[in-house]
Structure 1
Amino acid sequence: MTGHARAAERDSLPDVRSTTVWGRIWRPFWVLPLVIIVVAAVVGLLLPEAERAITEHLPFVFEGGADGARSMLGTIAGAMISVTGLVFSITMVVVQLASSQFTPRVLNDFLSSRVTQATLGIFTATFVYALTVLRSVRGTSDTDSYVPQLSVTLAFVLVLASVGMFLAYIHHITRSIQVSAIVSHLGAVTMDVVTRYFPAADGPRPPEPDRPRPAAEPVRIDAVEHGVVAEISLRRLRDWATEHDALVEVLIPIGQFVAEGMPVLRVWAPGTAREDVEPLRVSVVVEEDRGFHQDPALGIRKLVDIGERALSPGINDPTTAVQVTDELHRILRALVVRRDLTSVVAVEGTVRLVHRPQRIAELVALALDELLHYGKDSPQIPPRVLAMLRDLQTVALPEHAEALRGWERIADDAARRLARSPGG
């Protein structure tokens, strides 16, 4: 493949990641804590039996008798289940606070935190491990008793690890509820997907191939479940169409809701049976919530939601809205120096895929429309947005200039209206 062909391919399809099967397995909140608990239970079952031959040769282990071991393990188990309940309660309070103060759409960011998952897992695992080892302590303090000294010592080490995780968890929670941390995190994740999704402006804009008009009737693939289109395997669709001398059209863009029975794909593949087309259904992933992997609009949507909530009369926190505006400034500055994706993908001159990529003008409108609407009466928002738009025009590509000038006129009108109002 020539360098020009590679550049054309890079400009036609976004360089975004898809969630692997392994990633989907580890994504739920309960998976990591469960794995830690299972490992602790297995170690608690096997270690007391394995250490019968080695405990007497190990220094710095528990040297008490059976009664002391039972007392220590019982104390650890009782204390850890209580602290686990405390940590879980703190997590629920933080989740509720984030939902009411910012937006419900940031809850996934809190629950996906590995610090929170690991803390709950280690606390619960310490409780399970202590109970498991407790059953191996036999007899009393007499000479016929058996105390798995290494196992009891490991329980004490797990308590120390739990204390360390508790301190890390408190630091994480106190930082994660700060608006600056939330806004910065959303901005960083959005910047990552923006740079992967939209091609850089290297040289002149390549022409977009004409959309074909096939004469044959297409095979339609409908959604079998409702939800949001979270991922689309565009490269898989393109490669399948190339292999079968076919044309595939994606009807639903990333981030849009679909109901059962709605068409998501149209396939023109002469001579191909419908059962050969059905495997393409897995190329469109429908989930309950949107994901960041292929959706540049999601981070902007969350930031705008936080800004709108801050501007509401019930919260009345315009400074937070200014922080959101500044983060949107950072994202839009990265957007307007990049090009839109072509919606028609050709391989060796033959159109193989038609899809509906997100457009930079749409993302600019998403970032500014509601923020200017709800912040039109705030003395801080219109002037801030106006300054942002003037800066964007100094770096924007020519194809984005007209849209930015339109938004500049809207922001300028809002700023002038504020200046003429009493107290403005």
Structure 2
Amino acid sequence: MKAGFRYWLRDRFWALPLAIALAAAGLAVALTTLDLELFGSLPVLFSGGPEGARALLAAIITSMISFTGLVFSITVVVLQLTSSQFSPRVLNTFLHDRFTQVALGVFVATFVFAFVVLRTVRGTAETADFVPTTAVTAAVVLVFVSVLVFLRYIHHITQSIRASTIVTRIGQDTRALIVRRYPEDAEAPTAGAPAAGPVYRVPTDEGGVVQSVDDDRLAQVAVDHRCSIRLVPAIGEFLPTGATLFEVTGQEPPDGEDLCAAVVLNAERTLDQDVGFGLRQLVDIALRALSPSLNDPTTAVQVVDQLHDLLRCLVTRPMPPRRRCADGVLLLTVPETRFGDLLALAVDEIARVGAEDPRIRSRLRLMLLDLGDVARPEHVPPIAHMLPAFADS
């Protein structure tokens, strides 16, 4: 039930920089070994002696560790600014930003590379001179690469804290989930009756938010034990420790650990399978923008436009129940958020907080009218129910 290794690794900001640093250490060992084996037969790329190599590598080490600290400080300031101005829930967008991780990895890798190479430089009154010319030259090249990455990082970080960039990025991630979760050619699952037998409740041994569910694994467990499995909480809901996670109907209940292993619980919601979380992030940004402390209705309008795009994508797609059936038997049921609930999430709070702003109400009304024009028949009722509240906009 705990987050799998893939989820655990994805949420570790240090994982990619550490991997790059280890790769740099391995490269340093390989190049110095190559220099040692072919000493004197390679073109001389670095022409200095042992003292010059030591001074150069020491300067690289000192400067790169200070450089890395500066970049890390900039990143922390950006995270604090984003959390206070937009929403703490958008921090994952930055923590999962691959370019920021790669940039920090390159800076740390340059430091590690130079440090490993430095220990191989020899040349005293008691020992023969040895300067790994290829490795020293590679350290200089890494410094220039770090400068280029830093310039690109400054541009990237300044762009990433713009309101339009944050809103667009969340919208793109949410839209990708919608397309993946609700294909345009999706068909309603076949009907099936629950298996016969008593109902068993499977509690959770730890609390957390339901991040994702492995439908295939649970359906296979249901087939093996000839039972019906129903997940009690919906994706994105919090489950306290000891609460019921599954209800199993059948004569041969499966082991609770097998069921719990198919569910990922964690401390917060993600966009793995939770469309509502994408909408929640956008709504939070709009509410923060409409607060008296910020008073930024233009950002709220941008959010409404992004919500319009996402809801338009939803209303044109079928949203069949999330269940699995086989041979007339209901194997698995996973509760899903209905379109009406997602629409209410996207509209209600913004409409209430922005009731005095004519631009917000006008945009919401135009959005609902457009959604009503393109919606599939099953999605029309919640839109029609909400429209009268904006009749005077």
For 1:153-192, list aligned pairs within 5 A: 153-192=137-176
What code does the residue aligned with 1:365 have?
A
Structure 1 residue 310 corresponds to structure 2 residue 294: no
Structure 1 residue 117 corresponds to structure 2 residue 98: no
What code does the residue aligned with 2:54 have?
R
Q: Calculate the TM-score normalised by the size of structure 2.
A: 0.93
Cα distance in 2, alignment partners of residues 207 and 47 from structure 1: 59
What code does the residue aligned with 2:244 have?
P
Cα distance in 2, alignment partners of residues 83 and 207 from structure 1: 56
Cα distance in 2, alignment partners of residues 344 and 209 from structure 1: 9
Shift of residue 215 of structure 1?
6.2
For 1:354-369, list aligned pairs within 5 A: 354-369=333-348
Match of 1:374 among 331, 349, 353: 353
Shift of residue 409 of structure 1?
1.2
* 8 Å contact kept, 1:255–1:295: yes
Shift of residue 235 of structure 1?
2.1
Match of 2:217 among 216, 236, 253: 236
In structure 1, runs of 5+ residues without a counterpart are 1-18, 416-424
Match of 2:48 among 64, 68, 79: 64
Q: Calculate the TM-score normalised by the size of structure 1.
A: 0.87
For 1:331-346, list aligned pairs within 5 A: 331-346=310-325
Tell me how many residue pairs correspond in the alignment.
391
Could you tell me which residue of structure 1 aligns to residue 130 of structure 2? 146
Structure 1 residue 225 corresponds to structure 2 residue 206: yes
Cα distance in 1, alignment partners of residues 32 and 184 from structure 2: 60
Could you tell me which residue of structure 2 aligns to residue 256 of structure 1? 237
Backbone CA RMSD of aligned residues: 2.2
* 8 Å contact kept, 1:341–1:357: no
Cα deviations by residue, 1:81-129 (Å, 9 ceiling, x for unpaired): 1110110000001000100111001111101111111111111121122
Shift of residue 206 of structure 1?
4.8
* 8 Å contact kept, 1:66–1:141: no
* 8 Å contact kept, 2:4–2:264: no
SS in 2 for 1:216: coil
Could you tell me which residue of structure 1 aligns to residue 391 of structure 2? 412
SS in 2 for 1:380: helix
For 1:210-221, list aligned pairs within 5 A: 212=194, 216-221=197-202
Shift of residue 26 of structure 1?
4.4
* 8 Å contact kept, 1:73–1:134: yes
Match of 2:252 among 271, 278, 302: 271
* 8 Å contact kept, 1:209–1:344: no
Could you tell me which residue of structure 2 aligns to residue 132 of structure 1? 116
Structure 1 residue 396 corresponds to structure 2 residue 375: yes
Cα deviations by residue, 1:196-228 (Å, 9 ceiling, x for unpaired): 2224367xx85874764x663322221121211
Match of 1:195 among 157, 167, 179: 179
SS in 2 for 1:146: coil
SS in 1 for 2:217: helix
